Structure 1
Amino acid sequence: MSLSGVEAFSARLRRLRHTAGLTQEELAHSAGLSTNAVSQLERGLRRHPYPHTLGALADALDLDGAERAAFVARPASLDRSPGSGAPSTSPEVLPGGDTPLIGRDDEVTSLVSRLTGGSAGRLLTLTGPGGVGKSRLARDLAACARGAFADGVVFVPLASLTDPSLVVPTIVRAVGLREEAQTPPGELLSEYLRDKSLLLVLDNCEHLLAAAPRIAELLSVCPTLRILATSRSRLGVRGERACPVEPLAVPEAGAPHHLARISNAPAVRLFMARVQDADPEFALTPDNAEEIAEISRRLSGLPLALEVAAARVSFLGSTQLLTRLDGVLGLCGARDLPERQRTLRATLDWSHDLLSRAEQVLFHRLAVFAGGFDLEAAEAVSAGGELTSDVVLASLENLWEQALVRTAAAPGPAGMRYGMLEPVRQYALERLADSGEEDQVRARHADWCLTLAQRVEPELSGSDQSRWLDVLDAEHGNLRAALAETLRRTDDDAGLRLAVALRRFWYVRGHLQEGRRWLQEALTACSSAAPPLRGAALSALGHLAVKQGDFTAAQSSYTQALELATAPPSTRATAAATGGLAVVALWTGAHERATRLSRQSIALCRETGDPSGLATALNVAGLVEIQRGRHRDAAVLLEEGLAVSRAAGDEGLTAAHLNKLGWCHLEGEHLDQAARSFGDALTRFARLGEQWLAADCLDGLARVMLARGRPTRAARLWGAADAQCTVIGATTLPLDPSVYERLTSRARAEIGEDAFAAAWAQGAALSPDRVLGEALEEIAIEGAAENTPAAHGADRSPGARSRLPRDPGDALPAPRGGQIGQ
């Protein structure tokens, strides 16, 4: 009498354990199971072990090849009687998730609809990098779709196979069939499934792609069969519908800190669920929310990384964990996961080993890109040796197919961009370090960044500067990495040249503190650099310090720059440093000195014939005259500067002059003209991403609104202006603090302290785009109704005047900021 299925499996497990020379306790420990679990399996008391349990046992028993395939597939027929043909019971074997699926509700709904819909897409492949949760999602999809398949669902784990020819025999056993000597497994399977309404889940196909044609053939002869596959790359057969599985969404970086927003992010929800599995008392609080949000961002929302990291919170706490995330690759996850998924490194090793030699080399080299890359950058930095440009292109495509490289959500300014999830990049960096060519590749990357920055620098004072600023924004992570790399060098001044090339980008895009830090570090590291280069860096430091209200530092930087401009003599550098000192004098109340220095700067710029320098000098001189109350003189200077800026095509300097002219119009009580000038300048600044100068326009528009009897709108604009300065770390002080305080006090008195505070807070909460839209709408409405007495009814306070207050003690209206233009 033959053994039953249960007895045969029990006997086989005992035999294999004895052959391996293991006790039940030793086998249980090696497989990450309890001794009782192994005992129950050997006695036939546990009839439906999970596939990952069988995989763990197979690993512990060191099984491979056909023997391993037979072992892990055996439980599909544990309770079936022997015989050929159809199984005696339902073939359904679907491992369930022991925890709820988090953050995938929309995906599940959409994919279940596709699985159970019309004839299109009978082969659905979930693709994505290791650790993103493809297998888990597949199990939940199959469970949700089960009712749509009269003949059930069969889950077929393929990770343990090494030979593509074993895929079909493994499926045969999984559905409960017995192989027959006279019938090939493919024919047996096709005949059995031909009229079945069944969902076949093929898990982990990426290393068995040679079997994909057999899968396609099976679908062609079984019209009601559906297949759900998981793979790090597409199977590559006709009729396949690839569905990329993305990491879980993380809280937006730089967004206002709201506990509810952070706690609702799917990545944080998964992280917290796993933390609370180990420590039910751990909670998300205002004190740790930003740390946990940053952990989820640093791990790129990758579910396996989140689960592995969460298991350490009880031991390390969120603060320590955040500082030690680089070590998360090798930490172990849940013991009931397959061995290759217990650590991130094991998961990524699995993917890495599937790559060709050329693909592995490219994968390692691309890791130096800290902020993504386009094809041109990949070729420039990675090509060399065995990697020609053609090989880079072909290998990059396969890395993308394998989900080790991802396309960006939207093309960058220079075209399609690519990148890696941060845990994947960290792994590739380790491999690069092991390869012995890290220093060489990092040097090529730094040189590429320097070449890019120097190529873009002259474009940042042209008509297309917004697009070029976007190019640098897209490469910001790479530029930071290149600065760190070049400043480690002691034999050249590349770091200082890179910092100087980026100075205008830092000015305009509001990276004030960061720009100061890099420039100071570069000056220290490149102490022997030529005087013109050091002088340019010092002038840049002065400009950034002015924006932050650090006038002592600005004075020191400009003074040193002026000294360097004389050795060798440079009229252009002297003009720039002199203009900077004029601004510092203005901010510190030395108006006569500011006038003298600004006029010297203009004369020097006329001598050099530098249109950008001249426009900047005229802008500074006009600002000085506004502050001195000489608005007609200011207007003459600013109109000339506006003409020069427009002729040079400099969008930023054109906006700066329009802004200052708005203040001149405001003083003359030409409110329509003032509003239009401020609005035009604000639009240009918004296009450039310049927030400090935009805030100056908002201050001017707020004063226009107050003069028109709209104190609530004024408070809202002041709040927006203050927030835009604060977010980039710029000074929020106006040049005319007494007038500014008097005007804001008037608005408070007219609408009440509570209403003023509410309007201010509403303005502060607006995004720059929303602020721009509201401001331009307000200008259009007010401009159309300027001569209509009732136009401002609801917001006009009793007795409000249509002009700014001019008490005898008032200083004249002046801009908030002492800008020196762009």
Structure 2
Amino acid sequence: MSGGPDTGRGDFAVLLRRLREARSVTQEELAGSSGVTAKAISALERGERRRPYPHTVRSLADGLGLTDDERAALVAAVPRRATPSTGGATTSGSATAPAGTDPPPPPRPVAPPPAPAAPLVGREADVAAVLDLVTTGARLVTLTGAGGVGKTRLAREVLARAAPAFPDGTGFADLAPVREPTAVLPRLATALGLSEPPGGVSTASLAAALHDRRLLVVLDNLEQVLAAAPAVADLVERCPDLVVLATSRAPLRVRAEREMPLAPLGTPAGDGAEEVAASPAVRLLLDRAAAAGASLPLTPDTAPLLAAVTRRLDGIPLAVELAAASARFLTPAALLARLDRHGLDAASGAPRDLPDRQRTMTAVLDASADLLDPDDAALLGRLAVFAGGFSLDSAEAVADDPGGADVVGGIGALVEQSLLVPVPAPDDVPRFRLLEPVRQYAAVRLRDAEAALSTATAHADHLLDLGTAAHRRLQTARIGPPLDRLEADHANLRSAFLRLLELDRPDDAARLAGGVWLYLGLRGRAREGLDWLGRLPGGESDVGVAWAAVARMGLRLVVGDVAGLRQEAAVGVPVAARCGDPVLASEASVLAGLGAVFAGDLAAADDLLTLHPGLHAADAPWAQILRDFGRGQLALVAGDAPRAARLLDASLAAARDLGNEFTVATALNVRASAAEILGDDVRAAVLLGEALELSVRLRLGWTLGYAVPQLAGVAARSGHPVVAATLFGAAATLTVSDAVDAHFPPTRVTTDRGLAAAREALDERAFAQAWEAGRSATPAGVAELAARVVADVTRRGPA
């Protein structure tokens, strides 16, 4: 084997291997001492990588502990990077521009951009992700996001932190003043220390100048000149050591691009002081307020206010910073009130070093709107009618303009420009939302447009259709999907209800509330629903009165307001009977009958728990099942537990046949009550365990609120006082959070005895600890405890 240099692989490859082997070092050992990967060292020694970066050569020399002469020889062995010559051949001498272009001027040293003055708050993970991209092979990275979300600030932070990986320099090109795509490359050249040649800057001349330089350059605000994207991509392709980090409200849509969407800062989900303090958006608010000379105290009292401020601003950093500037003279409560009154431009006293285009959120969003075509800008305004997001089918129903562009295409354009955000959907229909500052801005545009009233009316009509259709849908099988859809549209339902009142359509408002009362009761919004109904002005037609009465009776049953339910029934039942809708009349009668059962008025209950004379049970199976287990409850209250058990078994079987999970869970709970009264805790535990699992899985707060305290009583009687106390604590929280009254008269005594037994079995401290653990338990945690109780009770069998 020849010992001479292997010129086929290159002098650098031969010399590196010789120096490594002379020190008896493996590639893996050199990787450990140099920080260069073993894979990269292997590629260099095989000649697959012929031109390592200068910092790579320095790291290898340090790892091998080379002498000055050896180090110089290794550096000299790196071939100079070739560039195209005018004749199409390559040369290892100085770079020359292709034919037809001026030779590039000699590059000046690139001075690093100034480091950001203020700390970057809440973006640690984003900085790390972008740093990883620009230093490990991504050549063209685009930060996308809404105006004010912090793309420029993040890019500056990355530029400062990435500088050591780019030995030939970094640059920052502000494209905000640029309107012509042809001006982008000259700006880039200036940012990298290049003088403009007499013939002007071209991709070819820039490539010739930058070809062998390891550089990182930021192109800020590229959305205004997206037509320049192909030229930027071409430059990156020609310059293997150039990395471009672009910021844009829209992606560049070129093949070399790696897009990284930048979301707003996270806002607190809850209002607890610890959770609020950990929120990135609140951290930024406090940091910028302190920098402005203000002191926003974060205490248990102010935490909910600070959280609300950041939620109003949707965590958009610029909006938070502008709000913080007002904190010099406003308390948290006053700042929140000002945001509620004045919206986007409530903040005053923006930092003087902010450019004019960023001194208000309106200015920021004006710039975004200027990039839209007229049809898309008009669609943005119409979409502002939605509150809390919308599905694609809702957008098509409400915001379609027969004379304008396609809604689907317009939504795509708004998503592209980061004005519309895709969000998780409860079904297969795509869902979107406007960030709150964007929605406020768009709402102003809608008010100024002729379509404001027609769009608001279309929104109210669409939600009315959705709500009235839900009434029957929630009485059939598989209620999870419609409940989730209604919950996703909850803010729209509330907005539509109020708008119907504004439009002087109280009958329709009553129909909407009547259509969704069961959703409101099952998902913990019963008191809110009663508040809606309290806004009805009166004077509705019989149909409106009947719908409102059904909704009020159902929601008062949920919250345990039996007296209020019976007062409502006195008006609602006769009105519903004469309105011509036997299904609605039967629903009103059955709900009134359940109220009479709870009130102990057995004669009235027996009379009310009947279907409308002209209605067959097959026409209203849901109401029939309610009637049947209402009669089972009536038998329990009357003291006939065996008869109640028979009626409830039949009711449970019918509920299972229907497949309606609410009626199944309700029948399970009531049948468990009969089992408890009959002394069959094993049967009660099994029934309650199934009801609880079903309620947790579908988030049925009403039925969960009944199952948990009953099962706690079983746990206490079965020798599990800690678990019982924990479940009682969870039940207390459910009663408050979901507005559920969890006491059915026949089981109230047994439940109270179980609570007393748990208190007696535990000392005061142990009981308090278990109770608090239950109050903070998640639904999944409650379900796990319940499963333990059921398993133990069934294993041990009857006492």
Q: Per the shorter chain, which TM-score range?
A: 0.7 to 0.9
Determine if the alignment matches structure 1 residue 393 to structure 2 residue 393: no
Query: Could you say which residue in structure 2 is the equivalent of 1:719?
Result: 729
TM-score (norm 2): 0.83
Query: Could you say which residue in structure 1 is the equivalent of 2:292?
Result: 278
Change (3 A) 1:571 1:428: closer
Are 2:145 and 2:418, in contact at CA under 8 Å, matched by a contact in 1?
A: yes
**Structure 1 residue identity aligned to 2:727:** L
Query: Could you say which residue in structure 2 is the equivalent of 1:42?
Result: none
**Structure 2 residue identity aligned to 1:156:** A
Determine if the alignment matches structure 1 residue 340 to structure 2 residue 357: yes
Which of residues 682, 705, 710 is equivalent to 1:672? 682
**Structure 1 residue identity aligned to 2:707:** C
Query: Could you say which residue in structure 1 is the equivalent of 2:68?
Result: none
Which of residues 644, 647, 657 is equivalent to 2:657? 647
Change (3 A) 1:710 1:290: same
Question: Which secondary structure state, in structure 2, belongs to the residue aligned with residue 435 of structure 1?
Answer: coil
Change (3 A) 1:733 1:214: same
CA distance in 2, matches of 1:107, 1:599: 61
Question: Which secondary structure state, in structure 1, belongs to the residue aligned with residue 179 of structure 2?
Answer: coil
Query: Could you say which residue in structure 2 is the equivalent of 1:616?
Result: 626
Determine if the alignment matches structure 1 residue 625 to structure 2 residue 635: yes
Are 1:123 and 1:240, in contact at CA under 8 Å, matched by a contact in 2?
A: yes
Change (3 A) 1:407 1:176: same
Query: Could you say which residue in structure 2 is the equivalent of 1:558?
Result: 569
The one-character-per-residue Cα deviations of 1:85-142 (angstroms, maximum 9, x if unpaired) are: 2244x21341322111000111111211111003xx2100000000000000000011
Which of residues 326, 329, 334 is equivalent to 1:320? 334
Which of residues 270, 279, 288 is equivalent to 1:265? 279
CA distance in 2, matches of 1:174, 1:576: 73
The one-character-per-residue Cα deviations of 1:540-560 (angstroms, maximum 9, x if unpaired) are: 202212322323321111110
CA distance in 2, matches of 1:486, 1:281: 43
Query: Could you say which residue in structure 1 is the equivalent of 2:785?
Result: 774
**Structure 2 residue identity aligned to 1:753:** E
Are 2:593 and 2:609, in contact at CA under 8 Å, matched by a contact in 1?
A: no
Are 1:579 and 1:597, in contact at CA under 8 Å, matched by a contact in 2?
A: no
Query: Could you say which residue in structure 2 is the equivalent of 1:528?
Result: 540
CA distance in 1, matches of 2:708, 2:250: 51
Are 1:126 and 1:242, in contact at CA under 8 Å, matched by a contact in 2?
A: yes
Question: Which secondary structure state, in structure 2, belongs to the residue aligned with residue 645 of structure 1?
Answer: helix
Query: Could you say which residue in structure 2 is the equivalent of 1:79?
Result: none
**Structure 2 residue identity aligned to 1:751:** L
1:671-820 to structure 2, matched below 5 A, reads 671-731=681-741, 733=743, 735=745, 737-783=748-794, 785-786=795-796
CA distance in 1, matches of 2:587, 2:236: 73
Change (3 A) 1:606 1:451: closer
Query: Could you say which residue in structure 2 is the equivalent of 1:34?
Result: none
Change (3 A) 1:441 1:599: closer
Query: Could you say which residue in structure 1 is the equivalent of 2:524?
Result: 510
**Structure 2 residue identity aligned to 1:96:** A
Change (3 A) 1:567 1:281: closer
Query: Which one is further off, 311-320 or 441-450?
Result: 311-320
Are 1:453 and 1:502, in contact at CA under 8 Å, matched by a contact in 2?
A: yes
Percentage of identical aligned residues: 34
Change (3 A) 1:562 1:598: closer
Q: How big is the shift at 1:602?
A: 9.6
Change (3 A) 1:281 1:528: closer
Are 2:273 and 2:299, in contact at CA under 8 Å, matched by a contact in 1?
A: yes
Change (3 A) 1:187 1:297: same
Query: Could you say which residue in structure 1 is the equivalent of 2:36?
Result: none
Are 2:104 and 2:206, in contact at CA under 8 Å, matched by a contact in 1?
A: no
Are 2:610 and 2:627, in contact at CA under 8 Å, matched by a contact in 1?
A: no
Which of residues 97, 102, 106 is equivalent to 1:86? 106
Question: Which secondary structure state, in structure 2, belongs to the residue aligned with residue 487 of structure 1?
Answer: helix
Q: How big is the shift at 1:432?
A: 0.9
CA distance in 2, matches of 1:376, 1:606: 35
Query: Could you say which residue in structure 2 is the equivalent of 1:55?
Result: none
CA distance in 2, matches of 1:714, 1:492: 47
CA distance in 1, matches of 2:145, 2:668: 51
Q: How big is the shift at 1:600?
A: 5.0
Q: How big is the shift at 1:781?
A: 4.3
Query: Could you say which residue in structure 2 is the equivalent of 1:819?
Result: none
CA distance in 1, matches of 2:337, 2:738: 25
Query: Could you say which residue in structure 1 is the equivalent of 2:150?
Result: 133
The one-character-per-residue Cα deviations of 1:429-478 (angstroms, maximum 9, x if unpaired) are: 10111112111111111111112222332111111211111111111111
Are 2:105 and 2:197, in contact at CA under 8 Å, matched by a contact in 1?
A: no
**Structure 1 residue identity aligned to 2:508:** A
Question: Which secondary structure state, in structure 2, belongs to the residue aligned with residue 464 of structure 1?
Answer: coil
CA distance in 1, matches of 2:742, 2:336: 33
CA distance in 2, matches of 1:239, 1:772: 50
**Structure 1 residue identity aligned to 2:649:** E
Question: Which secondary structure state, in structure 2, belongs to the residue aligned with residue 150 of structure 1?
Answer: coil
CA distance in 2, matches of 1:599, 1:132: 58
Change (3 A) 1:436 1:315: farther
Q: How big is the shift at 1:221?
A: 0.8
CA distance in 2, matches of 1:220, 1:712: 67
CA distance in 2, matches of 1:626, 1:545: 22
Are 1:399 and 1:405, in contact at CA under 8 Å, matched by a contact in 2?
A: yes
Report the RMSD for the aligned CA atoms in angstroms.
2.2
CA distance in 2, matches of 1:752, 1:603: 58
Question: Which secondary structure state, in structure 2, belongs to the residue aligned with residue 700 of structure 1?
Answer: helix
CA distance in 2, matches of 1:500, 1:638: 27
CA distance in 1, matches of 2:217, 2:617: 80
CA distance in 1, matches of 2:448, 2:582: 51
Question: Which secondary structure state, in structure 1, belongs to the residue aligned with residue 171 of structure 2?
Answer: strand
The one-character-per-residue Cα deviations of 1:565-621 (angstroms, maximum 9, x if unpaired) are: 343576655544443343333433x35335534555698976786322221111122
Determine if the alignment matches structure 1 residue 445 to structure 2 residue 439: no
CA distance in 1, matches of 2:695, 2:648: 17
Query: Could you say which residue in structure 2 is the equivalent of 1:74?
Result: none
1:586-625 to structure 2, matched below 5 A, reads 586-588=597-599, 590-593=600-603, 595-597=605-607, 610-625=620-635
Query: Which one is further off, 301-310 or 753-762?
Result: 753-762
CA distance in 2, matches of 1:149, 1:543: 68
The one-character-per-residue Cα deviations of 1:189-243 (angstroms, maximum 9, x if unpaired) are: 2111100000011111000111111101111110011000100011111110000
TM-score (norm 1): 0.81
Query: Could you say which residue in structure 2 is the equivalent of 1:350?
Result: 367
Query: Which one is further off, 590-599 or 483-492?
Result: 590-599
Query: Could you say which residue in structure 1 is the equivalent of 2:510?
Result: 496
**Structure 1 residue identity aligned to 2:254:** V
The one-character-per-residue Cα deviations of 1:670-710 (angstroms, maximum 9, x if unpaired) are: 22221111111122222332213212111221122122111
Which of residues 650, 668, 673 is equivalent to 1:663? 673
Change (3 A) 1:236 1:566: closer
**Structure 1 residue identity aligned to 2:681:** L
Which of residues 143, 148, 153 is equivalent to 2:165? 148
Are 2:558 and 2:741, in contact at CA under 8 Å, matched by a contact in 1?
A: yes
Question: Which secondary structure state, in structure 2, belongs to the residue aligned with residue 355 of structure 1?
Answer: coil
Which of residues 115, 122, 129 is equivalent to 1:103? 122
Query: Could you say which residue in structure 1 is the equivalent of 2:73?
Result: none
Indicate the structure whose relative CO is greater, using CA pairs within 8 Å and at least 6 residues apart: 1
**Structure 2 residue identity aligned to 1:418:** F
Which of residues 219, 229, 249 is equivalent to 2:246? 229
Query: Could you say which residue in structure 2 is the equivalent of 1:45?
Result: none
Are 2:573 and 2:592, in contact at CA under 8 Å, matched by a contact in 1?
A: no
CA distance in 1, matches of 2:555, 2:471: 17
Are 1:598 and 1:621, in contact at CA under 8 Å, matched by a contact in 2?
A: no
CA distance in 2, matches of 1:377, 1:264: 36
Q: How big is the shift at 1:738?
A: 4.6
**Structure 1 residue identity aligned to 2:559:** Q
Q: How big is the shift at 1:360?
A: 0.5
Query: Could you say which residue in structure 2 is the equivalent of 1:112?
Result: 131
CA distance in 1, matches of 2:621, 2:633: 18
Determine if the alignment matches structure 1 residue 216 to structure 2 residue 233: yes
Query: Could you say which residue in structure 2 is the equivalent of 1:636?
Result: 646
**Structure 2 residue identity aligned to 1:399:** L
